[in-house]
Amino acid sequence: MTDRQDIVELSGREPSNPRSTTPPTRDAADAGANAGERPFLRLWFACSSQYTRAYKSDDAGAYVGRCPTCHKCIRFPVGQGGTSQRSFTVSCQ
């Protein structure tokens, strides 16, 4: 079985507790953002079959998203040694 960094499991987490994953790199985190547009990651929530965005926090230290169905929170820290991946599959079940 291959290790897929773009799939995140949230099972067993409290709805208010964010989950950290492999952090995006700072350069990749800002790539593709238009002037005036807030940087984001694209999230596919497999549990609800819906796309949503994880926007960069005000302190620019992480991207934060929430499942549109169960409202569990997910956090993607920004830092050295991260990934340039812009889309992630998330499962809350």
What pLDDT sits at residue 18? 44
* Contact in structure between 85 and 6 (CB atoms under 8 Å): yes
Domain assignment present for 1: no
11 in a structural domain? yes
Phi-psi region of 59 (alpha: psi -120 to 50; beta: other; left: phi over 0): alpha
**Residue 29 pLDDT:** 44
Q: How many domains, in total, are found in the chain?
A: 1
For residue 84, the model assigns a pLDDT of: 87
23 in a structural domain: yes
Whether 45 maps to a domain, the answer reads yes
Per-residue burial over 3-42, b if 16 or more Cβ lie within 10 Å, else e, is: eeeeebebeeeeeeebbebebbbeebbeeeeeeeeebbbe
pLDDT at 17 over 80: no
pTM of the model: 0.62
The stretch 10-38 carries a mean pLDDT of 52
